[in-house]
Amino acid sequence: MRLLRAGGRGGRQGFTLLEVMIALSIVAIGIVRCMQTFTASLSLQDRASRQTRAVLYARAAMDALLFEPEIKNRRHVCEPPSREGFELCTEVRVAEGGDGVDLRMFNEDSEFGLRYLQVDVTWQDGRGQKSYGLKSLRVAPVPEND
């Protein structure tokens, strides 16, 4: 069977069915590759979007700690996962020398102390568990029971 095409020398010439099938398979391979690239880019965009939301979630929690009027110590307190699947853990404690600060300016008689703040957000990704953490220091009044 020959598919005819116009023109050519000596009359009618055409493409064979095999030539048409090879051309279509090449086009199909190209379309499949384009779809794979599109799917992969959507997946990467989703992962980047979730990571951005996790960073914003951690930043909001850290801002809440930084602006809390009377900050109290709490050792590794975790909240249940949010609707989006983010688990938030916070830690507030008295800063120590191992935290990379010089504590000589805060003596025992000082009414202010240095607090170490840490916020960790964890979530499940298609490739496993991911986490994002923030650490900061804050000068705060020393509570009576500290």
For the cut 70, the answer to whether the pLDDT of residue 131 exceeds it is yes
Distances in Å between the Cα of 1 and the Cα atoms of 4, 11, 28, 54, 60 are 10, 17, 23, 61, 70
Residue 6 clears pLDDT 70, i.e. is over it: no
Q: Which of 44-48, 113-117, 129-133 has the highest mean pLDDT?
A: 129-133
Greater confidence, 103 or 86?
86
Question: Following DSSP, what letter does each residue of 21-43 receive, concatenated?
Answer: HHHHHHHHHHHHHHHHHHHHHHH
What pLDDT, on a 0 to 100 scale, did the predictor assign at position 31?
Answer: 94
Q: What is the pTM of this model?
A: 0.69
Distances in Å between the alpha carbon of 2 and those of 22, 42, 73? 14, 43, 84
Q: Looking at residue 34, what is its pLDDT?
A: 92
Instruction: Give the integer Cα–Cα distance in Å for 14 and 1.
Output: 10
Whether the Cβ atoms of residue 62 and residue 119 lie closer than 8 Å to each other? yes
